[in-house]
Structure 1
Amino acid sequence: MTDILTFLLAVTPLALLIILILMCRVAVHYAVLMTLIVTWCVAGWHFEFPLQALSVASLYGVTKGLWPIVIVIFAAIYGYNLMLENGSMAVIKQALAAISDDKRIQVLIIAWGFGGFLEAVAGYGTAVAIPVGILIALGISPLKAAVVSLIANSVPTAFGAVGIPVIMLAEQTGLAVQTLSTHIILQLAAFNILLPFVLVAIIGGGVKAIRGVFWITLCCGVASLLPQYVVARYLGAELPAFAGSLGGLIITIILARHQKSDRATEGVAFPTLFKASVIYLFTFIFIVLCSPLFPAIKQSLGAVSSQVAFPLTATETLRLKIEWLITPSVLILLASLIGGAIQGSRPQKMLSLLFTTFGQLKKSIVAIVAIVAMATVMDKSGMITVIATTLVATTGVCYVFISPVIGALGTFVTGSDTNANVLFGKLQATAAQQLGVDPHALAAANTAGATGGKMISPQSIAIAVSASKLEHLSGDIMSTTLKYCLLYIFLLGICIGLFYTI
């Protein structure tokens, strides 16, 4: 009876968070704050977590939520806002729309390639909202534009916002970033190939639509997968989504230009397009220069760092390393300031956009720091261990097959791969250790599953509905996308289960 009570109390914060967001329709930032308070009560009362340890764990979680998660998202959205303000994003949209008038190719370029790139550098809904608007402007029905953009915004989210979901997964679990990245790419490999075909079939009204664009669609998927694998294995989490989206985008554009079709709109001169893309170009260059490819730069700049100690108990101290120069957030912010100046943004406007971006993200900031604090308290108080132990004891080796479902649930509830990894990453690693499975495998499965849940996250649906102006059809968008999401998670669970248990 005691074990059952302990398990029920351990899962209470997670269950409450789901109920508040999905059933009670409480805003995410309020729901997480309320759940954090309940977590404190349960940890202090039943799990006998001392008040001092509770305070320190919460403070550590808040600090880790601010750095690196919040600062990365802030920098990425600031750069995007600069490009909106100075007209650079409009130039990029026009250039993409000018490549082909074949709607099947347009969806590969805009929803898959450009959407994946936006997810890599910014995230936060940009990878859904912008492709939806462009596709509708090109004559694609709003419902189809919303559905394909949501489905396309699945696989790229694993390494979205410059890899912050995987970086935080490594932080939470103590596992190697590059090993985690490699496992994630391998688990999602088939979906990198299959999803472009799914997008073409949806736009064309059925599987027959693949005829005539089979090879370009296949090349698009392969060109997305291979660079991701190489970069994930040898460089880590920051650049796989960059490399994959650019690989798929470039190959698709090259092949599309060889097809006989009139261009949809007037093209954009290369110098104009280059100038419009300079923020993203600098972002890519700076991150590469500070990667393991250039160890001297990485080591010298990485030495400018601080160690913050959080004494949890007499025998355990939590430590957070803050790298002031080579963290992606600083590099993105630097790229945005330099690129924005080149693009003609006035200093006063660049400064005002800093405050505008902060106001735009303030609710998300509250939600992120609260959810990281909550996850830290659940971990250090022993709640995560109780949940993992009970799930493994109940399901046995079958847990491996359902591990992606847990990640999908995390993203469905919180709307973020990062938050899903913060919530459930340690649980997955603990369960893997108890099953005798490589912890990297199930931690990666959490991220892989989270990419599926992203399709039907209420936040993602709300963004797609707003961009397509289909408020009256939000239920249709959800139900249509849900079919693909369930199949995605089912196939992913089978693949992961068979691969790691046989």
Structure 2
Amino acid sequence: MQLALYSLLAFTPILTAFLLLVVANRPATQAMPVTYLVTVIIALLLWKVPFIQVAASTVVGLIVTLEILYIVFGAILLLNTLQESGAISKIRQGLLGISSDRRIQVILIAWLFGNFIEGASGFGTPAVICVPLLVAIGFPPMAAVLALLLTQGTASPFGAVGTPIFIGINSGLEGAEAVEQEVARLGSNFSDYLNLIGAKTAIIQGVIGMFIPLLLVITLNAYFGKRKSWKDSLSVAKFAIFAGLAFVIPYALTAILLGPAFPSLFGGLVGLAIVIPAAKRGFLAPKEIWDFPDRTQWPTTWMGTASYEISNTPVKMTALHAWLPYVLLGLFLVLSRTRYLPLMSGFKRSRFAFLIFLEQMLLWRQSRFFFQRPSFSWWCASLTFCIT
């Protein structure tokens, strides 16, 4: 009984947020402060957490919020740079040149390119990059958001270069007696044990992920098609499964052979290299081109408050030049996260430790210098693109 009560208390903040956001339909600006107050009251009065520790955790939360805003700012900076330069228009023309079928476009952008970005930077950045890109080339905002939500489950267990494994699982399992006994039974060490967890995770996710592109196109046809029939997905089913395999095979092999750092990144990269030429040649592609209804027929539930209008004015820019920021983004992200490269070691030497005044006598918070943040890579990509 006591355990059930404690479990309910621990779940109360999550339940509060759910009731306010989903049931009461309150905006996050109202729901989350209330959730925070409920959490603080429970921590202080029921869990007897010291006030200084609650205050310190609050400051840590604010810092994490700033880090997320920093990431979002970099992504929006890059997107606006591409928009104002006309590169988005060129990218749109290029994607339409690969295939005019919206189902193939969403597989390329949300499934393959999105998983590549998730593997490189994590923290929800695929949504920040790919959703505006999909909207910009003519997708309804609701369809763009739904596409990213459906496709990111396969890549997210490895997050930003294995962060969920190396930090999340590592901190949760390291030092546990049962884990040490299992590692000893296997005759291994904890590092290899983490790699084993990553490999098994990739195999399980890979089996499911093989069918995610098919689920994606079924959803598009059923909810956003002119006839709203899932049967329209049958014509693209072979291509969807082909795209799923093009990602999950290198994804799983990377996890097994190289560890949890690069499965999503390499899976997306290899997948793009395989699927784009295949799509250009019409390999397994449907004969009938599928598109959304005319924009004037879109219901209001498909629309968002933001829009990305693309000019049809011809742009004097090559496709390579237009895609260069994303190429640079991937390059900078990989270089800044590869521990054996000189660039990474230089960034690591740039780490600094700072004391949060409310955490005095509790802990020192060591943070990586901003060069290692995904947003810095976006800044570099935007700046380089402007110069070129």
Same fold (TM over 0.5): yes
1:40 match:
40
Taking a change above 3 Å as real, the CA distance of residues 107 and 73 of structure 1, as seen in their structure-2 partners, is closer
Unmatched tracts of structure 1, length 5 or more: 344-502
Q: Deviations over 1:204-262 (max 9, x none)?
A: 74468545762x4333112212343455564755x554433333333222112223879
1:100 aligns with 2:99: yes
Q: Residue 347 of structure 2 aligns to which amino acid in structure 1?
A: L
Which among 198, 205, 208 is matched to residue 188 of structure 1?
Answer: 205
Which among 108, 112, 133 is matched to residue 130 of structure 1?
Answer: 133
1:256 match:
279
Deviation of 1:43 after TM superposition, in Å, equals: 0.7
Q: Residue 269 of structure 2 aligns to which amino acid in structure 1?
A: L
Q: Deviations over 1:134-164 (max 9, x none)?
A: 3559xxxx99777656534543555667877
Contact kept in structure 1, 2:88 and 2:136, CA below 8 Å: no
Taking a change above 3 Å as real, the CA distance of residues 286 and 334 of structure 1, as seen in their structure-2 partners, is same
Q: Deviations over 1:378-410 (max 9, x none)?
A: xxxxxxxxxxxxxxxxxxxxxxxxxxxxxxxxx
* Runs of 4+ with >6 A deviation: 142-146, 160-168, 174-180, 260-264, 268-271, 311-314
Which among 346, 363, 379 is matched to residue 300 of structure 1?
Answer: 346
Residue 318 of structure 1: SS of its match in structure 2?
coil
Taking a change above 3 Å as real, the CA distance of residues 270 and 107 of structure 1, as seen in their structure-2 partners, is farther
Contact kept in structure 1, 2:199 and 2:259, CA below 8 Å: no
Contact kept in structure 2, 1:170 and 1:180, CA below 8 Å: no
Contact kept in structure 2, 1:298 and 1:326, CA below 8 Å: no
1:71 match:
70
Contact kept in structure 1, 2:161 and 2:260, CA below 8 Å: no
Contact kept in structure 2, 1:17 and 1:31, CA below 8 Å: yes
RMSD, aligned CA: 4.2
Larger helix fraction of residues: 1
Contact kept in structure 2, 1:127 and 1:153, CA below 8 Å: no
1:59 match:
59
Q: Residue 82 of structure 1 aligns to which amino acid in structure 2?
A: T
Deviation of 1:19 after TM superposition, in Å, equals: 0.7
Which among 286, 292, 311 is matched to residue 332 of structure 2?
Answer: 286
Which among 245, 254, 278 is matched to residue 222 of structure 1?
Answer: 245
The TM-score with structure 1 as length reference comes to 0.55
Deviation of 1:304 after TM superposition, in Å, equals: 1.1
Contact kept in structure 1, 2:73 and 2:375, CA below 8 Å: no
Give runs of aligned pairs for residues 52-451 of structure 1, distance below 5 A. Answer: 52-67=52-67, 69-102=68-101, 104-116=103-115, 122-131=125-134, 134=137, 136=139, 151-152=150-151, 154-156=153-155, 169=168, 173=172, 182=199, 184-201=201-218, 205-206=229-230, 209-210=233-234, 214=238, 216-229=239-252, 234=258, 240-259=263-282, 272-292=318-338, 294-309=340-355, 317-324=362-369, 326-329=371-374, 331-342=376-387
* Cα distance between partner residues in 2 of 1:206 and 1:263: 15
Taking a change above 3 Å as real, the CA distance of residues 110 and 29 of structure 1, as seen in their structure-2 partners, is same
2:28 match:
28
Q: Residue 218 of structure 1 aligns to which amino acid in structure 2?
A: I
The TM-score with structure 2 as length reference comes to 0.68
Unmatched tracts of structure 2, length 5 or more: 175-190, 222-228, 291-311
Deviation of 1:339 after TM superposition, in Å, equals: 2.7
Taking a change above 3 Å as real, the CA distance of residues 87 and 240 of structure 1, as seen in their structure-2 partners, is farther
* Cα distance between partner residues in 2 of 1:124 and 1:143: 12
